Chain A
Amino acid sequence: DVVLTQTPVSLLISLGGQASISCRSSQSLVHSNGNTYLHWYLQKPGQSPQLLIYQVSNRFSGIPDRFSGSGSGTDFTLKISRVEPEDLGVYYCLQRTHNPWTFGGGTKLELK
């Protein structure tokens, strides 16, 4: 199975600051069709995960442009600028290029 390693495990950020989360894959996530199926989710406390970014860099409907994704191959990054209170929670990356789909271990974003 593809292993996704997220770093850091936890992140202390001040309101208005910038956060950066890394997701590294044990295999290339480029599909045979040329697409890269790496997505990012946020799970707020007590809630279900919500989709933020799909296919590396595309913001899902309603997601503010403070969230941005980048990367290629095996290295991917989620950046959150101007952190707001509603951004707090656990962030997960997900790959669906290879079966079975796998998630990263999560990064907890907390206020400093």
Chain B
Amino acid sequence: AQKVTQAQTEISVVEKEDVTLDCVYETRDTTYYLFWYKQPPSGELVFLIRRNSFDEQNEISGRYSWNFQKSTSSFNFTITASQVVDSAVYFCALSVKSNYQLIWGAGTKLIIKP
């Protein structure tokens, strides 16, 4: 069975601080995909990134970066120089090749204070 754990229920930081959201996953499949989605107060889930299990390269996109480590089954997300607009709930999710359904973490609510 697959599982995604986001242990941080809520994080609150002051604007311009860096913040890391943790995601730990479990799967026995050798081919799998990891995702991060952002859900602002408006409710729409916004796709941020997808990572394939065979590609452990870390990725940077502007102020966002992702650290994928198979050795610790983690796929952490860092926001550098956070801004108020980053305030949202962030979900980590997993899918496996045998069944592409998304397995969701519980989400981390990120609050960026001005």
**A, B from the same assembly:** no
A residues within 8 Å of B by Cβ?
none
